[in-house]
Amino acid sequence: MSKKRVLSGMQTTGKLHLGNLLGALNNWVSMQEEYECYYFAADWHALSSNYEETGNLKENLVDMGVNWLSAGVDPEKSVLFIQSLIHEHAVLHLLFSMITPIPWLERVPSYKEKMEQVANKDLHTYGFLGYPVLQAADIVLYKADFVPVGIDQLPHLELTREIVRRFHDIYKAQVFVEPQPKMSEVPKLPGVDGRKMSKSYNNAIYLSDTKDEMFKKIKNIITDPARVRKTDPGDPEKCVAYSFHKVFTPTDDNLQIVSDCKTAAIGCVACKKKLAENIFARINPLLEKRAYWNERKPEVIDILMAGTEKARTQAKETLARAESAMKINAGNLMPQVK
Ligand code: SF4
């Protein structure tokens, strides 16, 4: 029996952070055995909120490839590709944008949330509003059966499904696969300030940070605000550092931290030092592989290019079927030119 297909992408808005590693990358690695996986660098998506900062796009893209390979994403098992090199994404996005009602986009929770929270960028753009339409095109071009999503991205996937149904309904043809969510049970890691870890919020610990930079950021993670002095008892549930401990520290040690924090037997500095040790113990193998792939960037680029060629074949086939259903494949009317 052929494997079901999974599609997932990552924006090339900046360097990957610990949240990306836990939330997506580790999941990508584990899905490779069971599914046929298509993973892509979403460099056009990066423009939706970072259209003014394109200088590092290429560097970020290669760094992303380095991270994928370092984390264990295997190009022998998965198709790794670059969105902007496959123009079928843009064409299908345009076709979908013709049939997508604007209120469907305005009600997407992450759209409203980012509009409210991101103060340093003007996101009142057509591209930012239409971001989920491009996402829909990304997914259905590859006939993905599943898309790994966290609970907060479910509305995006539902929108994709609605667009697919609307397309099928209008053009009376079953062209696309309606993707299903693959809920991932990944631990949620906040940023060092307690908000969602995000490049946009400037609160992330990056995989490309040096250990000194990481350590500095760990030292600055927000703790229980009521714990002003070392002698004050703390409440771990009100502490962002403890949220990190829950992810990186073994359960028995965590029980001890809870008790020591509540009785003021441990200070926050020592507590975060332990946290740093546990984080490094977890990510050291990846950091070592990063050093290896960082020395071999041309090879990383070759891997991404080879995957892009493979993905393009599938994207072309799906787009041709969509254009045919819409009866807009005007190319067929043109005389054959050699
Ligand atoms: S001791 Fe640890 S868990 Fe308690 S407030 Fe300080 S950093 Fe947080």
For the chain, which domains are there?
5-189+297-333 (3.40.50.620), 211-292 (1.10.240.10)
Residue in 268, 275, 278, 279 to alter for ligand 1 test, most ligand atoms within 8 A of Cβ: 268
Question: For ligand 1, is residue 224 a contact (CB within 6 Å)?
Answer: yes
What pLDDT, on the 0 to 100 scale, is given for residue 139? 97
CA neighbours closer than 13 Å in the CB half-sphere of residue 175:
30
Question: For ligand 1, is residue 221 a contact (CB within 6 Å)?
Answer: no
Question: For ligand 1, is residue 268 a contact (CB within 6 Å)?
Answer: yes
Please report the DSSP string for 212-266 in residue order: HHHHHHHHT----TT--STTS---GGG-HHHHHHHHHS-HHHHHHHHHHHHTT-S
Question: For ligand 1, is residue 249 a contact (CB within 6 Å)?
Answer: no
Q: Are 151 and 183 in contact (CB under 8 A)?
A: yes
Q: Output the residue whose Cα is nearest ligand 1's atom 6.
A: 268
- pLDDT means over runs of 10, the chain (338 residues): 92 85 90 96 84 81 95 97 97 97 90 73 83 96 94 89 98 96 84 88 92 96 93 95 96 94 96 97 95 96 98 96 88 56
Given strand 146-149, what is the order of strands in its sheet?
78-82, 36-42, 5-11, 146-149, 180-183
- Give the total residue count for the chain: 338
Q: Output the residue whose Cα is nearest ligand 1's atom 3.
A: 236
Q: How far is the CA of 233 from the centre of ligand 1 (A)?
A: 9
What pLDDT, on the 0 to 100 scale, is given for residue 157? 94
Q: How far is the CA of 184 from the centre of ligand 1 (A)?
A: 28
Looking at the CA of residue 272, tell me the nearest atom of ligand 1. 7
Residue in 238, 271, 278 to alter for ligand 1 test, most ligand atoms within 8 A of Cβ: 271
What pLDDT, on the 0 to 100 scale, is given for residue 338? 43
Q: How far is the CA of 11 from the centre of ligand 1 (A)?
A: 33
Question: For ligand 1, is residue 223 a contact (CB within 6 Å)?
Answer: yes
Q: Are 186 and 150 in contact (CB under 8 A)?
A: yes
